Amino acid sequence: MKVIYIIHSLPVGGAETLVVNYILKLKQAGIDICLVERYHTESYLSTKIQNSGIPYYTLRKTKSRIMNLFQSFFYDDTLKQLNKLISEFQPDVIHYHTVFKDLDKVSFPIEKCVFTYHSRVERNFNVGSYVRPLIERLSQKGMKFIAISQLLHDDIEHFFPCAQIVDIPNGVDLDHIRAQKGKKKDLCEMLSIPEDSFIVGQVGRFNPVKNHLFTIHLFKDIIRKKENAHLVFVGTGNEGELRLIKNEIAKYDLESHVHLMGLRKDATKIMSCFDTLVLPSLSESFSLVLIEAQANNVRCVASDAVPLDVICNSNCFAMPLTGSKQQWINTICGINVRNTATSLEKFDIDVIVNQHIFLYKSLLKYNYGVDANK
């Protein structure tokens, strides 16, 4: 079976990491896979694909923002290049992880295409006025839509009543995550803080939707309750948001207790050393971070904007952002009873990849000999 994956680009992020992991697993399963990106972003994810031997194409080679803007408005040969690649590769299925204005003009049967939503549906409408009518046309023509959570399923069903929805959650390599479990004393040594420190952490890009300022406002009160508390932020992103975060840290004289670790390849290992992971997002379509933390039995406190599908054990709590601030603080600082997660296996990447293969096969009229049920 031949499958093309199409993504916007490969910066380091949750959806991008997920796509790369899927592609590598699909290759292991015997799928002839090809990755196409609209723009190129140099990252360890793009290097990982380049080193894998998997065919990897970029539709827009230029890194110039001015040239990309020019192409967007005056001459965009993305469709022409993509159709040429499709003609050469001859895929059986195309799986989209991005949307662009000429998607419905691609020379390939829409009914053999899959689209995965990685964020709340209404947020995609801000990309451009073409998005909603485009998705409506695609749903009417028979494209399959993967909903990664019940929240996304409800979104798609509400906005696009004609859509054919398939429920497949995001997959996590649980064995790899558990093998990455670190030692708290090593993290304390890295941060030059005492071993008995109480570590609160947040992992994610610096973006207003991740609500880092809320975490800082909680932490300034947490440190009054626990003088040995330290706050760790892992991630990178919006420079404007980062400046706001740094200003807020300085405003409350928290510099010696808040640690900005930046983008880390060992984020999973670092996160496994937290006493509590905080995820006060304003909006989430899923949360790989939350699944990974639970896989290593880290106490988690998330906003109720996180889909309930990913709250998998009694040591993970969902709380309203409009609720009591003291309740948030008490939950974060509570006795850290580390229960074993019992329902995470449904997110195991091998299970999820096999569900994708089963879906791809269902779009076709013949069997390729790939066991989608093992």
- How does DSSP assign 220-273, residue by residue? HHHHHH-TTEEEEEE--B-HHHHHHHHHHHHHTT-TTTEEEEES-TTHHHHHTT
Report the pLDDT value the prediction gives residue 11, as an integer from 0 to 100: 83
CA–CA separation, 201 and 191 (whole Å): 13
Q: Minimum mean pLDDT among 108-117, 278-287, 324-333, 335-344: which range?
A: 335-344
What pLDDT score does 127 carry? 45
Which amino acid is it at 1? M
Q: List, as one string, the DSSP characters of 318-368.
A: EE-TTS-HHHHHHHHHS----PPPSS-GGGBHHHHHHHHHHHHHHTSSS--
pLDDT score at 272? 96
Are residues 37 and 9 in contact, defined by beta-carbon separation less than 8 angstroms? yes
- pLDDT score at 131: 82
**345 Cβ partners below 8 Å, 6+ apart?**
174, 351
The answer to whether 55 and 90 are in contact (CB under 8 A) is no
From 5, 67, 51, 64, select the one nearest 31 (Cα to Cα).
Answer: 5
pTM confidence score: 0.81
DSSP state of 97: S
The mean pLDDT of 300-318, rounded to a whole number, is 90
Diameter over CA atoms, the chain: 65
Is the pLDDT assigned to residue 313 strictly greater than 90?
no
Please name the residue that has the structure tokens 């992971």.
Answer: 277
Distance CA 181, CA 115 (A): 33
Domains in the chain with CATH codes:
2-171+348-362 (3.40.50.2000), 174-345 (3.40.50.2000)
Euclidean distance between CA atoms 193 and 176, whole angstroms: 28
pLDDT in tens, 25-65: 999 999 999 999 988 888 888 899 999 999 999 987 655 55
Question: What's the mean per-residue pLDDT of the chain?
Answer: 88
Give the pLDDT score at 209: 93
Whether 305 has a pLDDT exceeding 80, the answer reads yes
Q: Angle at Cα 93 formed by Cα 88 and Cα 96, nearest 5°?
A: 100
Phi, then psi, of 319 in degrees rounded to 5: -135, 145
At residue 90, the pLDDT reads 96
For residue 301, pLDDT beyond 90: yes
Q: In what order do the strands lie in the sheet with 299-303?
A: 258-262, 229-234, 198-203, 276-279, 299-303, 316-319
Among candidate residues 93, 86, 133, the one with its CA nearest the CA of residue 116: 93
DSSP helix/strand/coil, 154: helix
Whether 273 has a pLDDT exceeding 80, the answer reads yes
For residue 281, the model assigns a pLDDT of 95
The tens digit of pLDDT for each residue in 321-357 reads 998 999 999 999 975 445 454 578 899 999 999 999 9
pLDDT for residue 371 is more than 60: no
Backbone angles phi, psi at 133, to 5 degrees: -65, -30
Residue carrying structure tokens 């803007």: 69
CA angle, 289 then 330 then 246, to 5°: 60
What average pLDDT does the segment 215-232 reach?
96
pLDDT band at 368 (very low <50, low <70, confident <90, very high): very low
Bridge partners, residue 303, by sequence: 319
CB-count exposure of residue 58 (10 Å: 0-12, 13-18, 19+)? middle
